[in-house]
Amino acid sequence: MERINLSAKVRTEKGRQAKKVRAAGFIPAVVYGKEIEAVNVAVNAKTFIKALTGEAGTNIIINLKITDDGTNNELAVITYAIQRNPLTDEIIHVDFRNISMTEKIRTKIPVEILGIPIGVKDEGGVLVHGLTEIEVESLPGDIPAKFEIEVSELAINQSKHVSDLVVPQGVTILSNPEEPIAMVSPPTKEEVAPAAEAVEGEVPAEGAVPAEGAPAAEGKEGAAKGAAKGAEKAGAPKEKAAGDKKAAAPKGKEAKK
């Protein structure tokens, strides 16, 4: 595996003081391992980001040259953890793990999906991603930069699993071999909601839009007139049918009283 050289200097700034380190163009970091005590260091941000975005990614082996008051110490490390600002995605802290080139280590390898499935191109299916990283165990020098898996031949309801990966010699897969990495799901169907049906005899609410072919409502006045007409047909006096509150005046002597 490719190695890179990276310079670091021991730092005394901790906690909130680490902002000064970042403002000067460095990334606060810590180095730890079985055989060493944890050391707080700072690495050049541009150099580290360039190495991180290279072909080997985060699993690249780094020859970390640590300077402390004029003394130099070189350690083989890998990037174990990266902390980022959730708003800007800026790297704000890095954990380096000291390794031995003769001892196996566990790490996670990214998976890259190649091709467009025929189930997506020809059948309208949807490519669903499963695992994006595979846990492995190997000597540091045998760690692959990434796994690649071809999915062009996948039809709808077909998938590729961890067991389908091509694994380099010296690398042991620790992830479940039955875990899916990529699958093609059937296209989703849009459901159309049924139109609401009017209930026979139901009076529409005021302001509601009448159904097609139904007479438009005329407000409270129209409702009152309709009630009056119905009452008149039934033989009721017009005054009562119209809802007149005043009773008809009596005739003759009773009227004078």
| pLDDT value at residue 50 | 83
Q: What is the largest CA-CA distance in the chain?
A: 131
- pLDDT score of 232: 52
CB contact at 8 A, 77 and 15? no
CATH homologous superfamily for the domain 106-185: Ribosomal protein L25, C-terminal domain (2.170.120.20)
pLDDT, tens digit, 9 for 90 and up, residues 143-153: 988 999 999 99
For residue 239, pLDDT beyond 50: no
The top-scoring range by mean pLDDT among 4-13, 44-53, 152-161, 210-219 is 152-161
Calculate mean pLDDT across residues 214-238. Answer: 48
Give me the DSSP letters along 154-168: --TT-EEEGGGS---
Average pLDDT value over all residues in the chain? 80
Domain ranges of the chain: 3-99, 106-185
Between 98 and 216, residue with greater pLDDT: 98
What 3-state DSSP class applies to 68?
strand
* CATH architecture designation of domain 3-99: Beta Barrel (2.40)
State the Rg of the chain over Cα: 40
**For the chain, what percent of residues have pLDDT higher than 70?**
70
